[in-house]
Amino acid sequence: MTVQSSEHVGLSWDDATLRERLARLLLIRSDMDSGGAPTARTEEVLRAGVGAVHGPPLLERDGPAGPSVARSFNAELRRISSEHLGIPVLIGANAERGLSYTTRTGGTDVPFAAALGLADPSLSESVGRTVGAEFAATGYDWVFQPVIDVRTAVHDPVIGVRAFGADPDTVAEHGVAFVRGLQSAGVLATAKHFPGHGDAEVDSHLGLPVITRSRADHENIHLEPFRRVIDAGVASIMTAHLLLPELQIDEIATFSREICTDLLRGELGFDGLLVTDSLRMAAVAERTGYAQAYISSLHAGCDVMNIRCWPDEVDPLLDELERRYRAGEIHETALHTAFTRVVNATQREMGEPGPLPSEATGTYVDSRLPQLLERHDPAGKLPLRLDRSSVIGVLVDSPRDTDAPPLSLLSTIEAVAGCGVRRIGVEEIEQVDAILAVSYGQAGPTPTEIEYVEHAAAASRPAASLIAGPPAARPSEMLPTIMVPTIDVFGMASRATLAPAVEALVQVTSRS
């Protein structure tokens, strides 16, 4: 990765208006029209100098999706932004289970970190290399992975399967390996969530975690993976929205200069790009407006303020930031430092992109993945033996704010099992030929999921359970069970680990 010369950065700063300098530090959503092109408002904010965007909103908008749509869209974003001062926009995305986590379809579905953490770190490097190559080929240059939180809170409701594990050395080894693989493709990796979110028992999307963490645990557990990925050259780090009162830090970590500058820059020696977690999350948004969140993050030492707003929200925000700059509320030194880092991050050699990933979502295959399954079947009832005319009824809760099953769960079960599959309620149990009760509560099975297991166990049909959340969950004593981390808190199912689990749960044969 190369760094732009200070002379070029200086010229860019000198040529930019105040509004463009402020805009360069924003990370916002992009928007697309029905034909798959950037909307007029998206073009306007790019020309206004916005420095970073989440790539095309293929999960939020109906219409075209997949790698070819994303690559065309991203190329247009880069072309529009480069016309102003010659500085391309940074285009980022989440990659929790691969490219399709962002593009809806296409690329290679890979295991979640919790599954990778059960294997050798070489698997994490290989997966990171696959993810990096596919994102680079699709026009992204910034990936918001890996999660290197050490998940020490059993009741953690959100990090869940996205963490490599509960041991700092394991997390560090896998985090370094994933970063190495990801950045080998030329994309920027992002270690998150600094200074560690793994002991939180509140989801910062929904509220503010207040963590009781000793100084020893802080130093020896939660900071260790960050030390290691910094030494390995990670390009960017994302902050966490949480409070650490036991460490005498009375400000949200994202807004804390002690955390973002004194600790991260000073003590740990990080000189890369520091991006906030979404400033729309309830942990922040319920306490302050977006302009103040931008200012507080900037003064703490952050470079990119992840407002994650739509393009039509940008102008009012920039109006407010300009007003507050002129009122003396924004420090020019902080603005210049962050501006320089953002511009420098765009100046690197990515090489020629590889071939466009497949438009159909493929599955990462490795002989080690079936070995990660944990089986609890003392009576030897697995796999459930069915024929092709059978219908498996799946008892599964919806992810929050939806009434749908976890994404790709049913289709993967059907494709792997080779028989009919449908989601059922407990009142429909006797209408199907076999039952699969699925649990993916990130803090262990939820009351609803436990109820599903009880109903399945009491039915006259063959039944089994799949515990698809983090490894700390206890198996059911009532049903034969397969355990493997494969569904996250947002209801995204990884086919890479779900497919081997289904093979262990069900065997379908033709009628004799």
Give the DSSP per-residue string, 304-350.
Answer: BEE----GGGHHHHHHHHHHHHHTT-S-HHHHHHHHHHHHHHH----
- How much of the chain exceeds pLDDT 90, in percent? 89
- Tokens representing 486 are 């494969």
pLDDT of residue 353: 78
Q: Are 36 and 315 in contact (CB under 8 A)?
A: no
pTM: 0.95
Is residue 8 over pLDDT 70? no
What does the mean pLDDT of the chain come to?
A: 94
pLDDT of residue 439: 96
140 pLDDT tier (thresholds 50, 70, 90): very high
Active-site residues, by number, are 205, 277
Name the phi and psi angles at 26, rounded to 5.
-90, 140
* Burial zone of 431 (CB within 10 Å; 0-12 exposed, 13-18 middle, 19+ buried): exposed
318 pLDDT tier (thresholds 50, 70, 90): very high
Exposure of 53 in the CB half-sphere (CA atoms within 13 A): 32
Is residue 7 over pLDDT 60? no
Is residue 452 over pLDDT 60? yes
Is residue 5 over pLDDT 80? no
- Domains in the chain (CATH in brackets) are 6-346 (3.20.20.300), 369-509 (3.40.50.1700)
350 pLDDT tier (thresholds 50, 70, 90): low
Q: Dmax of the chain from CA atoms?
A: 82
Is residue 4 over pLDDT 50? no
Identity at 431, one-letter amino acid code: Q
154 pLDDT tier (thresholds 50, 70, 90): confident
Residue 169 three-state SS: helix
pLDDT of residue 342: 96
